[in-house]
Structure 1
């Protein structure tokens, strides 16, 4: 239980930025482009004085002050002024970095290559996404047979600055109609446009206020989607906890859309999704209250007024519809199988009690897909892909031979297709597309990008280290072959550790640019993720969350002990739940790293569940209202509450965005204000607040280049790096 004692907002002041010099560091070697000592002088920062309110909450008899509660109001003029002040201070510091523009050019050079997605067939056309290199948003193309590809949808025309993005796209059964979603400024709230694919004319009014939704068509008649009631307060931060499924019939008004599921006040679900089977016979509903575990229900659309049939009622495990054939449903689940399996169920009796294993659980985590009437089972073996092809009778037909060690994905397609496409990548291999003949299992290269980055010049090695409690954890470390392991290499340690999400080796242009700048890039597969199944995930949740931080700390210690880097050249980086990871580790071990880069982080662990859909994260975190033990545990590591006066924390660049309605920017605002008030020493504590951007999806290329030029510049500058490689 908690009680607010009141809130007031003192007036804000806007100080000037004071620039005074600190000593510059020496270059690493004579072969680099060396900046002058004068250009490396660092500014002294006179932070804005952030007003303190008088809010005090009481949890189980313990009073907890929340002086920056007023920053949670994203619509107030005071918060707007604070944001402008902070951005002014931050940009003043970043502009003093002599090689920031050179980093931006490096990023632009490595990002500027043609990127093509795996093709997919809809109606008479084959569609694919393509980015010429520096386009803010990728363009959707289509072609019929061997004709020249033509532009189908160009999201770069949605807005002048690229801040309106294409978020999702779904075609009717015969491909004659497309429904596509757009996101403005990175918001999770979407609009849906319905367009005739031949005439390019919009055939419905725009659907609005849609959030956390797919678009699943029923024949050519209409589609199912999900949303919340629009909040009465701020749409960016107000709590949303009643998700609903609707059916939109083409040619009718959105106000007439039919409630299908999730509109009962007696039983709320925070996340509800609808999926129509490819044969249009079944409607499958997934209903969840958290990011792990769901109920599932089925309706036979071929029977008028057919009742809902329960597939799975308990929420202790996950289940989803992979594909169907006649009366058989092929479901993907971790029910009694922490590493997941595929089962077959009879649609007339789909209850858990009647399930039969099709592809049983193995020692490795399964991530399946389907195409051409077959199942493609991708297994993670120490976070690296191995793929097998199965028939719908459960017969293992073959292993799909991959081109190397890395991560494979896609293998999607309709049942009638004879080919499918898949992608392959690792930290030094850009995403390459292969075309697979489903009948023979033979692959051939379809598209290999040409990029200003030579992966052959780099080493990407996987090793195992030991965490605090003796757990063995894998880490992939990537660096140039000429790197000398002398403890002086700028290194980014990137982590996530939550929500059953696995960090498999994927290529990133911005990471490639960091490697070209002479950096080491290290990614450990820490607990809380899904690399080793449900048990690995649960070992990093709630009262075991400290395991995640300990694993990350042990990864840093491994890099230091083995001379990849040292504390003076180490940066901690992570976003969202990974932002929490960085915030917790930097407050627990302030001298572990020189730089901390928490991005769009969950940083106030006592109040995260009061914003937007945050209550759904309780499976991983627990809540401050759950029990006194949980409250004390959360308060102990909550970054906003763990900051102590008189401590020198790492040089910190917090990044967030004003339209982030998933992890609201108030988390980052409050953490920045607290750090600035308590930081001791000369390390800067800055916050970079992107405008017209959200949690990350749909970010324009131009903003990505600007952001990472700032992040990498800040990192190297605070490590004392005076020169960049030629």
Structure 2
């Protein structure tokens, strides 16, 4: 696949901890009703002048809303919070932010210290490893003190003069949020297409720049995914637009110099359970339009030199048939689950007859190995696979079956993946590698000689020494006997006597594998005695495709019980205890957090739930909400009674009850395009109304950002510092 230019990670964006997770804490609330604004949040009078008053949380008013499905009626008292434009809603969110700030006021010095630690480890002036594509070397660099990257290139040689394609610092001036995406250079190397989002709603406007003059073109294409794909005529591009629910649903063709209103629609994905996208093959020969849902795919192709031609279907969609496409020579290469290949296999088919009847096997299906990705070269084929929860890279030679080997990796818990490799003729494979103790490393590997060169290792500024830390892979046992991998890291010398603060991270959805990679940010916890652990629970894909299948739909509760079993195992093995065990997850991982604290709240001292998907049933019943229709095969469709009943049995919001809960930090973004802000806002309101303890519950809403949190290289770490301060404050650690 010919992807938008991937300039490679730099030290600043390699933290394993999701950057959209930042902290707050909370307190229990009274049960009185009435709306408050940030100015109306009152404090009780102090008994002594020297004793500061205890901040009181805002109390969301109750407006009962009946929601009836399948003869079952639920009462949602906080449904009104979904009115984004209502000043009363904004006032309530602002009041929550003010309360969070007051509750965290005693940690301000600690937050500043943490922030300085985190950014102090980042190399201020940094540059990615350049890669060569069609005679140019492309890279990203950062200037000291600047928040955003500079996208640049050099012609022919790294000693040639620099050409700045996009200086995101200049583009972001005066904006509260800025993100650039989809850098794509025309075949003649003279024009650049890229997307810009200034709201954090992931609706990009595509812009064009003449790289020979440095001038921006007048063309603007709004409401896109941010990526434009060039035809070989250097004037035609294809792009994807979004519907009101933010589903990618149409592909258009644009000719430079013409108004976007005149663009021609070339494909409409009418099935609301599918999304569509467009890309160019690595060979530059074909434009590919893809459509995908959870359980099936469909692709169309067009000769990139014939932009006025008609797209042809490779293989019509079939429910349960998943496949992806790349091109080499006179064949398409297909990674697919055809004929029960649960962990996928590699097939090839003639371009002239691409349907599945002509697919021939190249790499067979294996029960114990998941085929994740491929990279095609003229002489070699590289495969990214996963076995026993760990990624591995395999190299084969097309015309010599004896050349078939794996690149050696030695860490007990690590991640490795194929990186940017645009040159078909190259014998060098670029890959990236890191572990819980090894900073992200970029390697060039000669597939012929098996010699490799370390091109760059993320520099951790300061006194970091990987020898000071220890990483392990251990296994908890679920109630059904399943072995659940746990990757963990801690500072050497830590006594495993049950007294260690431990942060357990989990996700477990969409087949997304959480790999054990390095984070310089995380050192601020490890150096304060924390154990950091990742629970590789079902619903992810760490142990193969079946691992995913066992944690979705009507088996979703395995995800939650796996996390609980991992938590209990860490306690049993002496890593921690319930007074020092913390849990963290974001988005679908926030659903995980909500479910486990309903089920086993006594296991955790504190929990961070970032942009949490907690109102499962109501959201999945509303097809106007982004992502809903495309996820019926992930969670179920509550229009079906059996799915409704099962989802209702675990939905965090619907299962809040009168019980003690751990200290809770909940975060969201007003412009979140994936989990709408009102889900966490409603959840916090209901928790405050029903819980029986005096633990903290804080909500922080970033009123300028969306699902990914704050933009900017350093600004985001203020949120991380707040998050860490939340954890440390619960341990009475203020240093």
Q: Is the 8 Å Cα contact of residues 459 and 478 (structure 1) preserved in structure 2?
A: yes
CA deviations on 1:580-625 (whole Å, 9 max, x unpaired) are 1111111111111010101011110112232112221221111322
Q: Is the 8 Å Cα contact of residues 123 and 174 (structure 1) preserved in structure 2?
A: no
Q: CA deviation at 1:19?
A: 8.7
Distance 1:11 1:515, change over 3 A: closer
* 2:337 paired with 1:334: yes
Q: Is the 8 Å Cα contact of residues 582 and 606 (structure 2) preserved in structure 1?
A: yes
Equivalent residue pairs, number: 684
Aligned match for 1:648, one of 646, 660, 672: 660
- Which deviates the most, 614-623 or 648-657? 614-623
Q: CA deviation at 1:279?
A: 4.2
Q: 2: distance between equivalents of 1:321 and 1:519? A: 44
TM-score (norm 1): 0.89
Q: Is the 8 Å Cα contact of residues 493 and 571 (structure 1) preserved in structure 2?
A: yes
Q: CA deviation at 1:378?
A: 1.6
CA deviations on 1:249-307 (whole Å, 9 max, x unpaired) are 222221122111116x5x4454101223344443322212x344322233455677446
Q: 2: distance between equivalents of 1:242 and 1:387? A: 32
Segments of 5+ residues of structure 1 without an aligned counterpart are 1-8, 22-38, 232-238
Q: 1: distance between equivalents of 2:709 and 2:563? A: 25
SS in structure 2 at match of 1:47: coil
* 2:471 paired with 1:460: yes
Q: CA deviation at 1:441?
A: 3.7
Q: 2: distance between equivalents of 1:19 and 1:116? A: 55
- Which deviates the most, 447-456 or 672-681? 447-456
Q: 2: distance between equivalents of 1:79 and 1:285? A: 41
Q: CA deviation at 1:539?
A: 0.6
Q: 1: distance between equivalents of 2:283 and 2:383? A: 22
1:271 aligned partner: 275
1:543 aligned partner: 554
CA deviations on 1:57-95 (whole Å, 9 max, x unpaired) are 112111101111111111211111011100000011111
Q: 2: distance between equivalents of 1:685 and 1:671? A: 10
Distance 1:376 1:152, change over 3 A: same
1:687 aligned partner: 699
1:15 aligned partner: 41
Q: 2: distance between equivalents of 1:690 and 1:464? A: 37
Q: 1: distance between equivalents of 2:400 and 2:459? A: 39
* 2:268 paired with 1:262: yes
- Which deviates the most, 156-165 or 664-673? 156-165
Q: Is the 8 Å Cα contact of residues 34 and 59 (structure 2) preserved in structure 1?
A: no
2:291 aligned partner: 287
1:426 aligned partner: 435
- Which deviates the most, 634-643 or 107-116? 107-116
SS in structure 2 at match of 1:331: strand
Q: 1: distance between equivalents of 2:712 and 2:311? A: 45
Distance 1:188 1:307, change over 3 A: closer
Aligned match for 1:297, one of 297, 300, 306: 300
2:449 aligned partner: 440
Aligned match for 1:311, one of 295, 315, 320: 315
Q: 2: distance between equivalents of 1:262 and 1:312? A: 15
Distance 1:199 1:503, change over 3 A: same
Q: 1: distance between equivalents of 2:444 and 2:200? A: 32
- Which deviates the most, 12-21 or 309-318? 12-21
* 2:237 paired with 1:227: no
Q: Is the 8 Å Cα contact of residues 240 and 248 (structure 2) preserved in structure 1?
A: no
2:133 aligned partner: 122
SS in structure 2 at match of 1:202: strand
Distance 1:54 1:475, change over 3 A: same
Q: CA deviation at 1:345?
A: 1.0
Distance 1:387 1:447, change over 3 A: same
2:11 aligned partner: none
The 5 Å alignment of 1:552-571 reads 552-571=563-582
Provide the alpha-carbon RMSD of the alignment.
Answer: 2.6
- Which deviates the most, 703-712 or 148-157? 148-157
Q: CA deviation at 1:403?
A: 5.3
* 2:372 paired with 1:367: yes
Q: 2: distance between equivalents of 1:116 and 1:316? A: 43
SS in structure 2 at match of 1:104: helix
Q: CA deviation at 1:43?
A: 7.2
Q: Is the 8 Å Cα contact of residues 383 and 393 (structure 2) preserved in structure 1?
A: yes
* 2:190 paired with 1:182: no
2:171 aligned partner: 158
1:78 aligned partner: 88
1:605 aligned partner: 616
Q: 2: distance between equivalents of 1:193 and 1:549? A: 44
Q: CA deviation at 1:678?
A: 1.5
Q: Is the 8 Å Cα contact of residues 55 and 65 (structure 1) preserved in structure 2?
A: yes
1:54 aligned partner: 64
Q: Is the 8 Å Cα contact of residues 282 and 422 (structure 2) preserved in structure 1?
A: no
CA deviations on 1:448-479 (whole Å, 9 max, x unpaired) are 23213322211110011101211111111100
Aligned match for 2:508, one of 486, 497, 504: 497
Q: 2: distance between equivalents of 1:202 and 1:623? A: 46
Q: CA deviation at 1:537?
A: 0.7
Distance 1:383 1:109, change over 3 A: farther
Segments of 5+ residues of structure 2 without an aligned counterpart are 1-32
1:28 aligned partner: none
